[in-house]
Structure 1
Amino acid sequence: MTYTAPTAEQRFVLDVIADLPGLAARPHYANATPDMVDAILAESGKLATNVFAPLNAVGDRTHAKLADGVVTLPPGFADAYKLYIDGGWAGLGVAEVHGGQGLPFAVNVAVQEQLTSANMAFALCMMLSQGAIEALAAHASPELQDRYLAKLVSGEWTGTMNLTEPSAGSDVGALKSRAEPHADGSYRIKGTKIYITWGEHDAAANIVHLVLARLPDAPPGTKGISLFLCPKFLPDGARNDLKCVGIEHKLGIHASPTCTMSFGDNDACVGYLVGAEGSGMRAMFTMMNNARVQVGLQGVAIAEAATQHALAYARQRVQSAKFGGGRDAVRIIEHADVRRTLMTCRALTEATRALVYLNAAAVDRAHAGDAAGAGLADLLTPISKGWATDVGVEVASLALQVFGGMGYVEETGAAQFLRDARIAPIYEGTNGIQALDLVGRKLGADGGAHWQEVFAQVRDTVHDLTASPDLAGLAPWLEDALAATKAATLWLAGANNPDDVAAGATPYLRMMGLTLGGWLLAKQALAAQQGLAAGTGDPAFLAAKIATARFYAEQLLPQVGALSGPVTRGAASLYAISEEDLAA
């Protein structure tokens, strides 16, 4: 069976949370009419179901393979990629001035969710190319844009991001790759990059590598880093002096070639400067921030697929009688504990989807010149990346549990979701880095205006719930979560010891995620209640939205209060045991 994101759910979240009608009213996104978005999601759903999903297990079993510097994808992948580019999907969210379709990032995210649910390893290729397009559109010279953007936007060429080196992981400023100016205005790049996703493959005619490197007279640290475009094939058709020298053997995403790339073995790797000298991190962060939202989306997508997989099994698996019931065996979905597991999976998946779609819509508003949208996007990005990917792992694990021992057996497919999901909390900045970014940078931005505005909107939703006879029971749970999160936020803002703040960062990120997830589900419950009262929409779907919000409020929001202690306890207990005794 194949599992992709449910279109009706996506449309509801796009309208209620991302405010797609409001986006479509802006000149930037006038193409995002309801009929257009419906048609896009219907067709991308077919692509995901009929083309991407059948290759998911194939890629997991077969793996991408490297021989003589050439990476060969598993059977069917190159043909599937051609169908993807022939359908015009690569340029969906790209501005029309660059040859794209000019649709909102939020719509692009919905399509990407479908593809990722179907085949996360394959969808990574599309994700990296989208980030490369955004970075070049924002920072490259007109000449580079004219030469490279059209082929990237069409999907004929793919893009990569080259940051990490053996001695420079999260500490990007320690990188050693070098760039030497050349007489023709280009540069010669020399260095080694590791963990380069889709760094080499046989699906596209060219691969455009965006590479961070340091000029000879550059200062140390991140201020001395510049960004360079290094194509696999040069404009004259010659092969550039770069190659894949190894691919990683990984826990999951086996069909995605994770490459070690060597640049300039013969001192002849041609690179072109993107942006100004020394501004490489600024340009690369354009790509990274796009990728971080989309990695958060990977958590949503895997959670959705794993939940559907577990649900299908629970509906047909017959086992022992219900606890306290008769002797007759029943389908395991009738057991209360299995229901609790499945409802937890559903609620967490829908909450994270709403958060990531809200984040994507904030990015759209930022691109349209909305300063408040930019601030909200900055605040939400580490939460989306961190919490949604943690949820992806959690839900994949819970879904496997529904299968019992069969979930641990590869042939059921449940294990692949867990193995694939596990990378998402690690790459594009580990979730610990996301938490530190949240408490160290994002909370204090503009004097805390952005989190204060979000909390004010949560408070408004509490008032709306209280005024609704059918939903008033949700209000106290959300109100308590908001109060605990606000108190923790103020504590972090007032803490003087950086170690104390860092110690509380990870539980705080989860606290924020849980609270915002409860808020966004409550907003959906209010919209669903209005739909039921007006007689618009599918009554069963709307009732299920309300039930999910209620379950989340009663079963998951109470965790927020329990996180107050870990957030505000400080770092003393983390260092109470010496390094030597800790290792003993």
Structure 2
Amino acid sequence: MSEYLIAREELDFLLWDWLDLAGDCGDAVDRESADAILDLSARLAADAFLPHYKTADRVEPFQDGTGVHALPEIGAALREYAELGLFAASFPPELGGLGLPSLLANASFAQFLAANVSTAAYVMLTTANARLLATFGSPAQITQFALPQIEGRWFGTMCLSEPQAGSNLGDVATRAVADGADALGDRYRLTGNKMWISGGDHDLSENIVHLVLAKVAEPGRATEEGTKGLSLFVVPKFLPTGARNDVAVAGLNHKMGYRGTTNCLLNFGEGEGALGWIIGTPGQGLPQMFKMMNEARIGVALGAAALGYRGYRHALAYARERRQGRPSGAGAGPSRPILAHPDVRDMLLTAKCYAEGALALVLYCAKLVDRAEQDAEAATLLALLTPIAKTWASEYGLAVNDIAIQVHGGYGYTRDFDVEQLWRDNRLNPIHEGTTGIQALDLAGRKLRDGAGLAILRTRIAETIARAEAGAALTGHAEALDLCWRRIADAVGTLRDAGSQGMASNATALLRAFGHGVVGWQWLDRALLCTDAPEDPFRGGKLWACRYFFEREMPRIDAWLRPIEAGSDIGAAVPAEFL
């Protein structure tokens, strides 16, 4: 089964040939060490994460009088992961980390997401939690709460949503009341309810560190409403004294996929109030939390890409083995593998374009993470591409899993084959960490507002186009890409001038056109590395996939842009009673 995870040849091509990992490693790691890390990741994912993939789907977490319990194999796998230092992979040595570039760390982690996304989710949440604390916490808070997570002994969560407050965090009702100070900083008592908390409680680690958004309540003074009043608090399940904090599990949510990841409704402060320490100063909660949310969005995108990639590999293997049908007019005789049928090849080419395109897009963003702290241009481009990566990988990774079921036929709809579970697991990804609609508003309303990110992106696209035009093989694709981006840029201007109603009606269409345009650019960019080996199955496959994307996928952009160009406002104009 391990052959269905991320192909090593794919990772090597992306990391070394396309994204120049060697240029980002510096003194942190050499090629031999990087290869060893990738080899280790593939083995551990196959040996410790993959074996309980279906078991964790069948044996869901449960709650009894002693607490919340998850499948023991999950804890065993995560302990092996921690013992090898992989929780610490992307953290600097001064925090006990391995100091790996984000690009290499994400390539390593992709194997675990492909093998068992619900087990790997605990890692993603924990590392994002620890990174936020390492960025904004005090030295004492880092020592107390971040370092045990970097070691993999404690796990972390992010507690934003509430039963009445999902995407609109201004409606958060959890309150924090000052309760003195100690060596960990200003102390508060929190009361409120948090919903949809992945990893919110379990018996897999020594402790759980919650990062909780709440509003500071002061006696005799009205609590500031909206997002400006939000502050961020670190609230552990067990206090430094060893005592249990006032955090209770009110219930578990039962999900369609990701079933091995506990998902909880948490009550903070059923008694005297949950004890927590403010991170930084009051009112800075949302900017701080965006550090974790943006990392989580890239993580969600990587998980969606990995699940899609594994689905594609399953479908391709099945199509090579499953015999069904004969050539037209052949009459009697042996049936042939379904891979011989043009319709099946069409589906597999679509799946290949989506799966490999999504993985490449997310790893490209991981490379930008490595450069963002020292390179303002990379930081601006990363901000622009984060909603693109999160959405495109989530939607089209899921589309790959849908295609994989179709290739399997009726077998794919049964639990005997992995592809139905891969689809269920991936169906969450277009929803959590910001739905497609939320990402579209972020792109159209924020990331494209001043045009800086778009200008940087178009410069990079123009460089690819110029390289493609210098040779004969891909000139047609270069011309098509240039025309496409001229039109997308015009649509951005049209939407910017359309007012809030026009933008809200067409932001998602712009996001979809933009995403396909970015992926088309990256397919052409990678294809340029393969023109000297068109007969090689791997590199020649990239050329065929690029051609397919430009012939069959890029024309979709026209349909998404037409309503924007026409000024359609149907989404806002239709009366509610007519729906």
With normalisation by structure 2, the TM-score equals: 0.95
Does 1:144 pair with 2:141? Answer: yes
Q: Please say which of residues 318-327 and 194-203 is displaced more in the overlay.
A: 318-327
Root-mean-square deviation over aligned CA pairs: 1.7
Query: Partner of 1:363 in structure 2?
Result: 369
Contact 1:484 1:560 in 2 (8 A): no
Deviation at 1:576, TM superposition (A): 4.7
- Report 1:106-145 matches (<5 A): 106-145=103-142
Q: Deviations over 1:18-67 (max 9, x none)?
A: 33222124xxxx31322222111111011111111111111111111121
Give 2:529's aligned amino acid.
Answer: A
- Report 1:21-32 matches (<5 A): 21-25=22-26, 30-32=27-29
SS in structure 2 at match of 1:212: strand
Deviation at 1:450, TM superposition (A): 1.6
Query: Partner of 1:13 in structure 2?
Result: 14
Q: Distance in 1 between matches of 2:511 and 2:119?
A: 29
Query: Partner of 2:210 in structure 1?
Result: 209
Q: Deviations over 1:460-508 (max 9, x none)?
A: 212211221233343233233223322222222332x211112111121
Query: Partner of 2:340 in structure 1?
Result: 334
- Report 1:120-519 matches (<5 A): 120-184=117-181, 185-217=186-218, 218-323=223-328, 325-328=330-333, 329-367=335-373, 369-444=374-449, 447-495=450-498, 497-519=499-521
Distance 1:265 1:315, change over 3 A: same
Q: Distance in 2 between matches of 1:86 and 1:238?
A: 27
Contact 2:505 2:570 in 1 (8 A): no
Deviation at 1:323, TM superposition (A): 4.4
Deviation at 1:107, TM superposition (A): 1.4
SS in structure 1 at match of 2:205: coil
Contact 2:199 2:261 in 1 (8 A): yes
Deviation at 1:400, TM superposition (A): 0.7
Query: Partner of 1:61 in structure 2?
Result: 58
Q: Deviations over 1:386-433 (max 9, x none)?
A: 111011211111111101122112222221111111110111111110
Q: Distance in 1 between matches of 2:521 and 2:546?
A: 9
Deviation at 1:327, TM superposition (A): 4.2
Contact 1:178 1:190 in 2 (8 A): yes
Contact 1:400 1:415 in 2 (8 A): yes
Give 2:517's aligned amino acid.
Answer: T
Q: Distance in 2 between matches of 1:269 and 1:576?
A: 46
SS in structure 2 at match of 1:211: strand
Contact 2:504 2:572 in 1 (8 A): no
Deviation at 1:374, TM superposition (A): 0.8
Q: Distance in 2 between matches of 1:54 and 1:477?
A: 45
Q: Distance in 2 between matches of 1:320 and 1:576?
A: 50
Query: Partner of 1:88 in structure 2?
Result: 85
Contact 1:45 1:114 in 2 (8 A): yes
Deviation at 1:528, TM superposition (A): 2.3
Q: Deviations over 1:512-545 (max 9, x none)?
A: 1111111111111112235x49xxxx94322222
Deviation at 1:326, TM superposition (A): 4.8
Q: Please say which of residues 467-476 and 310-319 is displaced more in the overlay.
A: 467-476
Q: Distance in 2 between matches of 1:60 and 1:278?
A: 40
Q: Distance in 2 between matches of 1:33 and 1:238?
A: 45
Give 2:422's aligned amino acid.
Answer: F
Q: Distance in 1 between matches of 2:306 and 2:375?
A: 28
Deviation at 1:325, TM superposition (A): 5.0
Distance 1:78 1:503, change over 3 A: same
Which consecutive residues of structure 1, in runs of 5 or more, have no partner in the other structure? none
Q: Distance in 1 between matches of 2:402 and 2:519?
A: 20
Q: Distance in 2 between matches of 1:505 and 1:314?
A: 38
Contact 1:17 1:354 in 2 (8 A): no
Q: Deviations over 1:139-198 (max 9, x none)?
A: 001110111222111111111000000111101011111111112341111111010001
Q: Deviations over 1:260-295 (max 9, x none)?
A: 111111124110111111101111110001001111
Deviation at 1:575, TM superposition (A): 4.3
Contact 1:499 1:571 in 2 (8 A): no
Give 2:114's aligned amino acid.
Answer: S
SS in structure 1 at match of 2:180: coil
Give 2:357's aligned amino acid.
Answer: A
Deviation at 1:379, TM superposition (A): 0.3
Match of residue 553, structure 1, among 541, 550, 564: 550
Off by >4 Å, runs of 4+ in structure 1: 323-327
SS in structure 1 at match of 2:529: helix
Q: Distance in 2 between matches of 1:484 and 1:316?
A: 44
SS in structure 1 at match of 2:267: strand
Which consecutive residues of structure 2, in runs of 5 or more, have no partner in the other structure? none
SS in structure 2 at match of 1:318: coil
Q: Distance in 1 between matches of 2:315 and 2:433?
A: 28
Q: Distance in 2 between matches of 1:550 and 1:571?
A: 32
Q: Distance in 2 between matches of 1:463 and 1:472?
A: 9
Distance 1:453 1:326, change over 3 A: farther
Contact 1:186 1:273 in 2 (8 A): yes
With normalisation by structure 1, the TM-score equals: 0.94
SS in structure 2 at match of 1:202: coil
Q: Percent identity?
A: 37
Q: Distance in 1 between matches of 2:165 and 2:255?
A: 20
Distance 1:577 1:470, change over 3 A: closer
